[in-house]
Amino acid sequence: MSGGRCDRLFPGILIACPTARLPVGKVSEAPDCRTVSRIFATLALFAIVMLAITMLLGLPVDLNGQVSQLRSLTEKMDNLKAGLATNEDNLQEVEQVRELIEENRLRFANEKKLGSLHKLMGIATAIVVMLVCSIAVTYFVGTSRWCREVVETYDLNLNLWLESQRLKRRAFPWAVLGMGTVVVISALGAASDPGTGLSHTADWVTPHLGVAILGSIFIGYCFYVLWETILRNHAVIELVMQCVQECRAAKGLEKESDLHAPLPS
């Protein structure tokens, strides 16, 4: 079977129909790639929305500024209290500083709540991004193995499996890069959190913001590459399905109605 439908769908790959070994039921094991592509696209879009929401929640948060201001006011209060023994005129200024400290503590408490929401949302977003990338990795591991088994069982052209392998190798680096990027964003966010007790946390705020913006765009591009590769891999699986059906029909193992049945979707 050197021509026909399979060659038209995938030019350059000639399919060899087997002379033996045509087990019943092999075709029914084909992965449901269209459903996977829809699920992946939906989850990827959801992850991108979560990335955007997390950034919007973090933009108004300035815990480092609030902590710095509270420290300055506390030091000023300590100095004023130390001078009360020699200058009672400082009493009014002490009261003013005390009021400022209370106001800043209230603002810090409110901002800390928003910061906690930003951190929790960031953790959830990182998990979702890792999940989406893991789905792509798992999909290509499974479909590549399926293609190899079917190609070997039906004695099809090895290029079919090699094409699936090539797509898998193309997808893996992008999945790893997507996961690595969200880990870097999270690590910089932790480094900029004054709640960790580390020194110079304020120095990491701007790098965290910049990497979060650029990293979110890059993660979106990783998702696009993975989705496009899944669609290309579906075309390979669709071709394998059609060629197997034609081979089985040539041996009288497929009914005419089964030969023209739609592929899984």
Whole-number average pLDDT of the chain:
81
H/E element, 52: helix 33-58
Per-residue CA distances from 231 to 22, 34, 35, 38, 214 (Å): 28, 8, 11, 10, 26
Q: Give the number of other CB atoms < 10 A from CB of residue 254.
A: 20
Query: Tell me, what's the pLDDT at 126?
Result: 97
pLDDT of 33 = 61
- Tens-digit pLDDT profile for residues 12-53: 444 344 433 334 344 445 555 678 889 999 999 999 999 999
Contact partners, residue 118, CB within 8 Å, separation at least 6: 54, 57, 58, 61
Structure tokens at 157: 């052209």
pLDDT per residue over 129-168, tens digit each? 999 999 999 999 999 999 988 888 888 888 888 999 999 9
Token reading at 264: 């899984």
CB 22 within 8 A of CB 248: yes
Give 263 or 80, the one with higher predicted confidence. Answer: 80
pLDDT at residue 47, rounded to an integer? 97
Is the per-residue pLDDT at 122 higher than 90? yes
Confidence of residue 248 (pLDDT cuts 50, 70, 90): confident
Structure confidence at residue 69 (pLDDT): 81
| Residue 256 vs residue 42, higher pLDDT | 42
Q: 197-236, pLDDT tens digit by residue?
A: 788 888 999 999 999 999 999 999 999 999 999 999 999 9
User: Which has more confidence, 82 or 256?
Assistant: 82
**In 3D, which of 70, 71, 97 has the Cα closest to residue 83?**
97
Residues 6+ apart with CB under 8 A from 40: 132, 135, 136, 139, 226, 227, 230
pLDDT-derived band of residue 84, with 50, 70 and 90 as boundaries? low
DSSP assignment of 114-150? HHHHHHHHHHHHHHHHHHHHHHHHHHHHHHHHHHHHH
